[in-house]
Structure 1
Amino acid sequence: MSATLYPTLPHVEPVAAPAAARLALKTDGASRGLLDGAWWPRSRDLPSELPALVKTLDPLWGRITRIAVNPRYWPVIPHKVPVDGHVVKVGWFTPEIDPHKLLLLSYGTGRWDLLIIPPETGAASAARLMRAASDRDGPPLTASALMAAEEALHGVSVADRPLGPDEAWEYEGGASAVAAVIPEQTGPDSRASRLIVGM
């Protein structure tokens, strides 16, 4: 009798426990509009940010197997990211994916599109963008159009440009731990139509 031995994968110890992902998601079933919610990463370090995002979404949406981004705002895009005993494949597409959008796929379950709010965005702008992206009736805008509307309406730049080398360095290790305060919902929007995580 013979036995086949498979090499075990090395156990990687995290340097520090990652903070919870900052998300606002639609919860009312089938999505209407172009986005399923918004993600506000703490830095532009995609290899460090994606595990916390996937850990949060796996129980909600089924195991995330693939992620795609536009490389415009990300200095490093990993090919694979280990998350709690499984590996998520990461790809990038320049013309096909909006620079402010993250595409997530769950094998056999579905596809979701999240607005990516730049990490350096102020808390008030991030809160407005999260509400707009996770609104149960919309938004009828693309991710970049939503970012442009925020800038036009509120006169606040949400960093709609690639970072220079010095700026990228500042954000690679993590942005300041500013927590956004989402104002309490009133009126028809107060129904449980969105899930807010990590705020």
Structure 2
Amino acid sequence: MTTALQPALPSHPLLRLRLAPHGGMPRPIDGAWWPRSYDLLAELPRLLAGLPRAWGHVTSVTVNGAAWSAVPGRMLVSNQVVRLHRTLTASAAQTILLLAPGQGRWDLLVVPPDTTEEAAEPLMAAAADGQA
């Protein structure tokens, strides 16, 4: 009898993130993020860990307060305090804003977690191409 070994599942699911190419032109959207849930306390550390090092340390995050579950005023991510802000403005309904002092501001399109892969892929590609 032969036993086939199943490959081990990753302990941390892959980050679903697409960033626009780095360039000199400012863009309204810098990429897209497709979280797996609306639990910001679980999702945000994965996102911040997957960002390019050149973006520096993100110290402030603004999210749509209506879309995400509990959003405390701050949280500890990799031994660093990150301040969390909620907004209810219509212009921020599907975005997350990341600030890193001295480095910049990045706005990411947030693809809703329950979006199918077929629907999410073109949204993410358009955001990374600057067409979102």
Structure 1 vs Structure 2 CA RMSD: 1.8
For 1:114-133, what per-residue CA distance to the aligned partner results, in whole angstroms no more than 9, with x for missing partners?
00000000001111001000
1:124 is matched with which residue: 111, 118, 130? 118
Match of 1:52 in 2: 46
Match of 1:77 in 2: 71
Over 3 Å counting, the alpha-carbon distance change for 1:18 and 1:88 in structure 2 is farther
TM-score by length of 2: 0.83
Structure 1 residue 97 displacement after superposition: 4.8
Over 3 Å counting, the alpha-carbon distance change for 1:72 and 1:55 in structure 2 is same
Q: Which moved more, 1:57-66 or 1:116-125?
A: 57-66
How many residue pairs get aligned? The number is: 122
Structure 1 residue 61 displacement after superposition: 1.1
What is the correspondence of 1:94-133 to structure 2 with a 5 Å cutoff?
94-95=88-89, 97-133=91-127
Structure 1 residue 31 displacement after superposition: 4.5
Higher helix share: 1
Q: Quote the Cα distance in structure 1 between the aligned partners of 2:12 and 2:54.
A: 19
Secondary structure of 2:115's partner? coil
TM-score by length of 1: 0.57
Q: After the TM superposition, which segments of 4 or more aligned residues of structure 1 sit over 3 Å from their partners?
A: 30-33
Aligned residue identity for 1:22: R
Structure 1 residue 53 displacement after superposition: 0.5
1:28 is matched with which residue: 17, 22, 25? 22
Q: Quote the Cα distance in structure 2 between the aligned partners of 1:77 and 1:65.
A: 15
% identical aligned pairs: 40
Over 3 Å counting, the alpha-carbon distance change for 1:53 and 1:36 in structure 2 is same
Q: Quote the Cα distance in structure 1 between the aligned partners of 2:98 and 2:26.
A: 17
Secondary structure of 1:102's partner? strand
Q: Quote the Cα distance in structure 1 between the aligned partners of 2:60 and 2:93.
A: 17
